[in-house]
Chain A
Amino acid sequence: MWGTGRSPGDPAVPTGGPARAPVLHRVRDWLSAFVFTVPALTLFGLLVLVPMGYAGYISFFNWGGFGSLTDAVGFDNYTRLFKDPVFLGDLWRGGLLIGLSVVLQLPFALAVAVLLNQKLRGRAVYRMLFFAPYILSEVITGVLFGMIFAPGDGLADKVLDAVGLGGLGGDWFAGRDTVLPTLFLVMTWKYFGFHMMLYLAGLQGIPAVLHEAARIDGAGSWQRFRHITLPLLAPTLRISVFLSVIYAIQLFDMVWVTTAGGPDHASETMAVSMVQYGFKRFQMGYASAISVVMFLISLVFALAYQRFVLRRDTEGAVTTMRANR
C-alpha cells in the first residue's frame, strides 16, 4: 500500500543502525499517510461510519426517538421484519422493479442508443431530449406525473379520451394493480436517457474499423451488433445494470411524492417503510432494523457483483493492487 516508501538501503536517509532502519521508515510512512488521510477519515467516520454503527445499535432497542436507550429487545425487530407483510412486500416489489428495469428499461435504452449512434439528422437534438428528464429532480418528476396521471382529469386520461382510447385510461397511481406499472413507466421516462448516454459513450469507444472489417466480410447488421457491439459494450452494460439495481433498492423520492407508498402499501419500498416507521410512527428501533437490512442487501449485492461480474472490468484496479506491489 505504501508504494512510495524508500528502500532500506537508501543512502540519503540517516539511519540509526542497519536493523532498525526499515522500522523507522515504515513508521514515518505510516505517519505521513495518517496525517494526510486524517481529515477525510474524520469526516467519513463522523458522518458515515458512526451513524451507521449507531443505527445498527438502535436496531436492537425499542426506542421512540427521545429519551435514552433502555428497552433492549435483542433481535425482536429483525424477527418482526420477516413476519411483516409490508416489509416482505417491499422485498417483492423491489425485486419486481429490478427485474422490469433489467428486462425492459435497459434494452430500450440500448436500442435508442444504437439508433442515435448512427448518422441521423438532428441526432444531437434527440440525445438532448431523451437525456433531459434525467436532469429533473425526482420530486419535480413526481409532482409532474402526479398531475399527468390524475384519474379522470389528468393529461393522460384527457389525451387518451381525445384519441378514442379512453378505455386505456384509469386509476394510474390510484389503483392497487396499476400503481407499480405506472411508477415503472415514470422511472423509465426519467432514467432511460441516462443509461442511453452511458451506452452512447460506450459505443463511441468501439473502433469503426471493426464494423468496416465485418461489413467487408459480409456480416449483416444484426451479426455486427451481436458479435462486435454487444461484447465491446459489455463493461458499460455491467455498470449500467449495477446502477439500476442500486437505484431500485434505495428508491424513495419519487414514490414518496407520487403515492407515499399507497394505495394500501401497493407501491411501498424499503426506504418508504423506513421513513413511515421512523418518522411517522417514531418506532426508531424498527426503522433502524429496516435501514440495516437495506444496507446489508446493498452491500452483499455490491460486493458479489464486483467479485463475480465486474471482476474483468476492474482487473488491475482494486482487486490486484496487492499483487502488483
Chain B
Amino acid sequence: MQALGSTSLALSTTSLSRRRLLAASAAAGLGATALSACGSSDSGNSSGKTTVEWWNITTTQPAKKLWAQRAREFEAAHPDVTIKIVTLENEAYKSKMTALTTSGKLPDIYHTWGGGVLKQQIDAGLVEDLTDKVSSWTADYVPASLTAYRFDDRTYAVPFDIGMVGFWYNKALFKKAGIASPPTTWSAYLDAVGALKDAGITPIALAGKEKWPGMYYWAYLSMRVAGLDAMRKAAEDADFTAEGFVTAGQHLKDLVKLNPFQKGFLGAAYSTPSGQAAAMGNGKAAMELMGQWAPVVENDAGKGLGDDLGFFPFPAVEGGKGALTEVFGGGGGHAVRKGAPDAALEFLKFFAEKQFAEKLVKETGLIPVSKGARGALTDPNLTAVSDELNKATGFQLYLDQAYAPAVGQEINDSVAALIAGSKSPEQVTRSVTQVAKSEQS
C-alpha cells in the first residue's frame, strides 16, 4: 500500500526535470555554507577597486607560478583591478564546485572541463554567454578545443588546454614483431596484436582496476562504429541499445579474446609502480590507449621510452560510420560567471595573448589551443598529438564529463565486466541504457 502511494508521488514529480530543479534550487540559494567561500568576489572595496576571483586547478609547477605572474602583470596594467587566485586540487575543486553550483554563486572566472557539468550550470542561468565577446580572438583556435564548451552554437568558455586519447606504442617492440607501420584499420590492429603475441611480446598494457582506461576502447569503438551523432543522440534519448553500440562491444570482445593484456591486468592500477604506465614505460608492453599525458606518467612510473615512443590514432573500423580523424579527448577552459565584472573577460583575453600562450606551451607542456602558438611546440610526442587535433574532423568529450556521473560510471563498470568476460556486448548497452533512463527522470 505504502509502495503504491509513493510510486504515484514519484510519477507526479518526474515532470519536473533535473535541470529545472537545479535552476530552482540555485535561485533559492541553497547550500549557504558555500556562499561564504566566494561571497566577496564582486564586492569592490571603498577605494573603487574591482576584485576578480579566479578559481583554477593548476597545482603543479612551473604552471602555478606562471599563472600567478600573469595575474600580477594584469594588475600592473590595470591598477584598479585585483585578481584573487584560488587554486584547488582536482577532486577538492569538483566537490567545492558542486556546492557552489547549488548555491548559485560561482567564482568570476573558473576552471571547467565543459560537457554535462557546464551544461547544468548554463541551464541554471549561472554562466555568461561569451560567443560574441571572444569570437575575435578565438578565431584561430583548433575547432576541437572549443567543442566541449559549445551548446546550441553558443560558446561558454575559453579553452587554454586540449588533448586527446590515442595509442602510444613502443617502436622497438613493433619492429621486433615485424609490424612495418601502425595499423589504421581495426582488422589490421587485431593482426598487429596477433603478431606481437607471436613474437612473445605483451601487446597491450591495461589498468583493469581503475576501469576508465578500459572504457576508452569502448568509447572509441562506439565513435568509429556508431558515429558521433549516434553518441549524442544516445545521450539525449537515454538509449544506448542501438546496433552500433552492440557491434562496438563485439569488436572489443574480439580484442579481449586474443588475450592481449599484461598478466594480472584486472588488478593493475594506472600510475603505480606495477601499473599500466609502468609496464609501458619499462618496455614490458607494446602499447597503451591513453591521453596526451601518457609520456609524462610513463617516465614517472617507469623508465620511459625516449625516442622509441610513438603515437597513432585509434584505427577506423571497416563499415563503421566514424572516421579515423574523429578524436576522443578533453581539455581545460575558463568560464565566466553571469554578472562578473568586465575585468574578468579582459583578463581572459590578456591570459590568451600569443606570447604568453607560447610561454605556457614551452614551459608547462600544454598543447596549444591556438594554431598561432603551434610553433612553440618542441616535444615530438606532443607535436604528434597536436597534429592529430589540428586535423580532427570531429570531437567527442570524455564520457564521464559528457554524460551524467552515474551514466559515465555505469559505462566504466559494464565495460570492465565485458573485458573480464562476465557481460555480453548486449548486456553492456542494456545496463547503460537502464541507468541513463533512471538519471533522465
Are B209 and A262 in touch, CB under 8 angstroms?
Answer: yes
A162 to chain B, nearest CB (A): 18
Q: State whether the Cβ of A311 lies closer than 8 Å to any Cβ in chain B.
A: no
Residues of A within 8 A of B404 (CB): 64
Are B266 and A262 in touch, CB under 8 angstroms?
Answer: yes
Interface size on A, residues (CB 8 A): 40
Are B102 and A67 in touch, CB under 8 angstroms?
Answer: yes
Task: Provide the B193-236 mask, 1 if CB < 8 A to any CB of A, else 0.
Answer: 00000000000000011110000000000000000000000000
Task: Provide the B392-415 mask, 1 if CB < 8 A to any CB of A, else 0.
Answer: 000000000000111001100000
Q: State whether the Cβ of A10 lies closer than 8 Å to any Cβ in chain B.
A: no
Are B264 and A174 in touch, CB under 8 angstroms?
Answer: yes
Q: State whether the Cβ of B31 lies closer than 8 Å to any Cβ in chain A.
A: yes
Partner of A171, one of B21, B211, B264, B417: B264
Q: Give bound CA distance, A32 to B13, whole Å.
A: 49
Residues of B within 8 A of A51 (CB): none
Residues of B within 8 A of A265 (CB): 417
Are B422 and A264 in touch, CB under 8 angstroms?
Answer: yes
Q: State whether the Cβ of A56 lies closer than 8 Å to any Cβ in chain B.
A: no
Stretch at the interface among B251-259, B268-276, B366-374, B380-388: B268-276
Q: State whether the Cβ of A22 lies closer than 8 Å to any Cβ in chain B.
A: no
B330 to chain A, nearest CB (A): 18
Task: Provide the A259-301 mask, 1 if CB < 8 A to any CB of B, else 0.
Answer: 1101111000000000010001111000000000000000000
Interface size on B, residues (CB 8 A): 49
Q: State whether the Cβ of A235 lies closer than 8 Å to any Cβ in chain B.
A: no
Partner of A174, one of B102, B266, B406, B417: B266
Are A151 and B263 in touch, CB under 8 angstroms?
Answer: yes
Q: State whether the Cβ of A320 lies closer than 8 Å to any Cβ in chain B.
A: no
Q: Give bound CA distance, A71 to B22, whole Å.
A: 12
Residues of B within 8 A of A71 (CB): 10, 13-14, 16, 21, 441
Are A65 and B98 in touch, CB under 8 angstroms?
Answer: yes
Q: State whether the Cβ of A152 lies closer than 8 Å to any Cβ in chain B.
A: yes
Q: Give bound CA distance, A264 to B256, whole Å.
A: 15
Q: Give bound CA distance, A173 to B264, whole Å.
A: 8
Q: Residue of B at shortest CB range from A74?
A: B6
Residues of B within 8 A of A146 (CB): 269, 272, 274
Are A66 and B6 in touch, CB under 8 angstroms?
Answer: no
Are B266 and A171 in touch, CB under 8 angstroms?
Answer: yes
A169 to chain B, nearest CB (A): 10
Q: State whether the Cβ of B99 lies closer than 8 Å to any Cβ in chain A.
A: yes
Q: State whether the Cβ of A68 lies closer than 8 Å to any Cβ in chain B.
A: yes
Are B267 and A171 in touch, CB under 8 angstroms?
Answer: yes
Partner of B409, one of A70, A72, A153, A276: A276
A131 to chain B, nearest CB (A): 29
Residues of B within 8 A of A260 (CB): 209-210
Task: Provide the B401-436 mask, 1 if CB < 8 A to any CB of A, else 0.
Answer: 000111001100000110010100000000000010
Residues of A within 8 A of B21 (CB): 67-68, 70-71
Q: State whether the Cβ of B66 lies closer than 8 Å to any Cβ in chain A.
A: no
Q: Give bound CA distance, A103 to B406, whole Å.
A: 39
A67 in contact with B22 given A262-B416, A263-B266, A264-B417 (CB within 8 Å): yes
A69 to chain B, nearest CB (A): 10
Q: State whether the Cβ of B154 lies closer than 8 Å to any Cβ in chain A.
A: no
Q: State whether the Cβ of B92 lies closer than 8 Å to any Cβ in chain A.
A: no
Task: Provide the B12-34 mask, 1 if CB < 8 A to any CB of A, else 0.
Answer: 01101010011011101011000
Are B31 and A66 in touch, CB under 8 angstroms?
Answer: yes
Are A281 and B406 in touch, CB under 8 angstroms?
Answer: yes
Are B416 and A264 in touch, CB under 8 angstroms?
Answer: yes
Q: Give bound CA distance, A71 to B209, whole Å.
A: 34
Are B99 and A151 in touch, CB under 8 angstroms?
Answer: no
Are A66 and B102 in touch, CB under 8 angstroms?
Answer: yes
A172 in contact with B264 given A147-B274, A281-B405 (CB within 8 Å): yes
Q: Give bound CA distance, A281 to B273, whole Å.
A: 28
Q: State whether the Cβ of A73 lies closer than 8 Å to any Cβ in chain B.
A: yes
B96 to chain A, nearest CB (A): 12
Q: A66-B102, A72-B6, A146-B272 given; name 17 further pairs at CB < 8 Å.
A: A62-B438, A66-B22, A67-B21, A67-B25, A68-B28, A72-B9, A72-B10, A75-B6, A76-B10, A171-B263, A179-B267, A262-B211, A263-B416, A263-B420, A264-B422, A276-B409, A280-B409
Q: List 16 A-B contacts (CB under 8 A).
A: A66-B98, A67-B24, A71-B14, A71-B441, A75-B3, A75-B6, A146-B272, A151-B263, A153-B274, A171-B264, A174-B266, A176-B420, A260-B209, A262-B208, A263-B266, A280-B405
Chain A to chain B: the 6 pairs with minimum beta-carbon distance, closest first: A74-B6, A151-B264, A174-B267, A263-B266, A174-B264, A281-B406
Contact surface of B with A, Cβ cutoff 8 Å: 2-3, 5-7, 9-10, 13-14, 16, 18, 21-22, 24-26, 28, 30-31, 98-99, 101-102, 208-211, 263-269, 272-274, 404-406, 409-410, 416-417, 420, 422, 435, 438, 441
